[in-house]
A and B are shown apart, each in its own frame.
Chain A
Amino acid sequence: MNITFHAPAARTRATTGSHKQSKQYAVDQDMEVDGEQDGDAEGTAFKDPTLHVVTPGEVITADTAFMRGHGTYILDEKVHASVAGVVDRVNKLLSVRPLHTRYTGEIGDVVVGRITEVAQKRWKVDVSARQDAILMLSSVNLPGGVQRRKQESDELQMRNFFMEGDLVVAEVQAFFGDGAYSLHTRSLKYGKLRNGSFISVSPALVQRCKSHFHSLPCGVDVILGLNGYIWVSAHVPQNLDEIDTELVYSNKNKEDITPNDRESIARVASCIRALAQEFIFINDTIISFAYEASLQYKLREMTKKEIMQAVAAEAVQSVNNMKG
């Protein structure tokens, strides 16, 4: 989903002449705003009418009818931007979305992370957020799929489940008071990652969608973590009923990864890097198109900047053609 903010210059209001046309934000019809609140916003000039880019300290609006959201602060009753980015408006809420920043999560997000520390009854996981996320011992499934209270013996063998440096895919379950995330892996979809390679891109490039687990036609599985961490791995048939729950915490890759599989994984990884370098949204469709576009090049050429650009441009072209 692509949200664009349309500058309100186009939406003229059928009100009396007390409202100036130059005002930046026309308040929605259902809101009662009297003429005195007509503040002249500063810094109104923006080049592209669909993009409203602000920089720190800039006044977004002097209209007191608006509420401040993320990326803003209020000074002298005016809403100022505190980051450089694009203004998002939802009814009365103004927020500024920085384009290049750390991951800010929401409950239910699928994230890929790396275990950084094994602590008392919990693991610390680097999810490229402002703080390490926490994976409690009580929010993982035990091998064998038994449901029971975790005991002291489980605490002692925590390193057998996840060790420092292991990659995991998990879901954001809750927030702690200080803004840290609590994760869980209480589903057979989640758990330790094997058989593949890891890519880190800007979190802004991965958008929330129905599924973040994809099997590409080229025989490669991709997990698009919403925190910008992406896992590309050899295809493993997913039949949730038949998964051997003992193997969930195994540290061994599967044995039959052919050189062809390995090349596909490397190629998909390079395609994702190419898209990320060009700052293009990453989803399964565009990865498939980029993969097809990349087939005309040798894999070792895929690290060259101009070839990455060409692949990304061709993928974007294919997506646009598909849209019509």
Chain B
Amino acid sequence: MSRVELLSPEGLRIDGRRPAELRKITSTTSVLSQADGSAYLEHGNTKVLAAVYGPREARHRALVIHDRAVLNVELNLAPFSTGERRRRNKNDKRLLEIAQFVKQTFEPVVITTLYPRSQIDIYFQVIQHDGGTLQACINAATLALIDAGIAMTDYVCACTAGWVEREAAIDLNYTEESADTSEMTIAMLPKSSKITLMQMESRLHVDKLDEVIALAGEGCKQIHEVLDKTVRDRAEDLARKMAV
């Protein structure tokens, strides 16, 4: 079987992007009326809906921590989200792992000590999967948490980067992801440039690591601008409506 050519001789990727070019990001907040905060985010064809409930009374006694809030993250992949239609088990290890990553990413950023004995639930619905699910989930969660008015020290912006054939490339899509490329997701606090998550499952030559990290970090900064605009527009809109 011949391998798919991921990088054209002109240096363009399979979907026509340049290596350091992000896919188009669209985002809206407050899309669900029942949730305390919600967001819908698209990275190209990857579409995620995030809903935040809380901080609210912990549903199970065992969950209660007396001096801070508990984060609970659940992820669901719609059966129609992938190329091959398939219903996934709720206990799919892959999904549980992503949920766990999101939880670990947000635990140091959300100021949970302000909400003792309560619980914050983050639910994701992946509507379309085209690579970069984890980054899309983290970015959507950031928007939804801010929309719910939950205190955080900073935004969390996530971005993937990898080594595609002979160059570092950003924001890999499904074709690139599945073609045995080494891919890394990092989540960053854009104001301080601190990294809260760094995840990689494949091999990458150590000489290329710095370049990939730098590229992903650059992507996080760009994503931050997009998210910040969404949040700011929404806040200004509400403030103006309330000023009437």
Contacts and interface: CB of A to CB of B under 8 A. Distances in A.
Partners in one complex: yes
Interface of A: 2, 4, 47-48, 50-51, 53, 55-58, 71, 73, 75, 80, 82-86, 98-102, 116, 124, 126, 130-132, 178-180, 204-205, 278-281, 316
B105 interface: no
Interface of B: 30, 36-37, 54-57, 66, 111, 115-118, 146-155, 189-191, 228, 231-232, 234-236, 238-244
B154 A316 contact: no
A86 B190 contact: no
A82 B112 CA distance: 12
27 contacts: A47-B236, A51-B243, A55-B155, A55-B235, A56-B154, A57-B154, A58-B191, A71-B151, A82-B153, A83-B150, A83-B151, A83-B152, A84-B146, A84-B234, A85-B239, A98-B149, A99-B235, A99-B242, A101-B150, A130-B115, A131-B117, A178-B116, A179-B116, A180-B117, A280-B241, A280-B244, A316-B244
Nearest to A319: B244
Contacts of A279: 238, 241-242
B244 A53 contact: no
| Chain B contact surface mostly | mixed
B30 A4 contact: no
Q: Select the residue from A51, A82, A178, A281 with max chain B CB neighbours within 10 A.
A: A82
A82 B152 contact: yes
B142 to A, nearest CB: 9
A53 B235 contact: yes
Contact of A82 (B66, B151, B239): B151
Contacts, number: 115
Contacts of A116: 57
B47 to A, nearest CB: 23
A202 to B, nearest CB: 9
A190 B213 CA distance: 60
A318 to B, nearest CB: 12
Nearest to B151: A82
A131 B238 CA distance: 26
Contacts of A179: 115-116
A178 B232 contact: no
A37 to B, nearest CB: 22
Contacts of A205: 242
A84 B241 contact: no
Nearest to A59: B191
Given A130-B55, A178-B117, 11 more contacts: A53-B232, A73-B151, A84-B234, A101-B36, A102-B54, A102-B149, A124-B57, A126-B57, A131-B56, A131-B117, A279-B241
